[in-house]
Amino acid sequence: MIRPETLEQGFREFRYEFGKDNPFAGSPFGNLTREQRIARLEAIAKLLDVAFILPGTNIRYGIDGLIGLIPVVGDIITAAISLWLVREARALGAPWYITARMLGNVAVDGVVGIVPFAGDAFDVMFRANMRNVRLLRRWLDKQPRL
């Protein structure tokens, strides 16, 4: 039988406190400013939608188009990442009508993306994540600075 005191002493360095004294409490990315969060969203959207150029053309595509080549599972994964972007926009204070439009973009991208080949071409051309970040940025630019 192992005594609880022994376990507590042996694993003390692995302990994690979720209190207010912890600078990273409640956030896996630490305490980011609003501009840093927006920059992170823009970077993820670019990675998903326009990170690469098809050689010999001006056609830009991202990881969304590549992962979408995996039938069904790829589209579910990219839709989940896109939904996380919408959640972050809501956390930044975006109103319901902006998030509703963003969700509509994700839904169109996800539903059409399920269609083999044609859906993948649509993913490359539609760029739902870039549209969503543009919607969020336009709304944020209209808000008064505090």
Q: How far, in Å, are 9, 64, 82, 101, 107 from residue 131 at the CA level?
A: 52, 14, 11, 10, 13
Give the three-state DSSP class for 118.
Answer: helix
For the chain, give percent helix, strand, coil, nearest 5: 65, 5, 35
From first to last of its 146 residues, the chain has per-residue pLDDT tens of 556 555 555 545 445 455 555 554 555 556 778 889 999 999 999 999 999 999 999 999 999 988 988 888 998 999 999 999 999 999 999 999 999 999 999 999 999 988 888 888 898 899 999 999 999 999 999 988 76
What's the confidence (pLDDT) of residue 78? 92
Token pair of 113 as six digits: 């993306």
User: What does the alpha-carbon distance between residue 111 and residue 106 come to, in Å, rounded to a whole number?
Assistant: 9
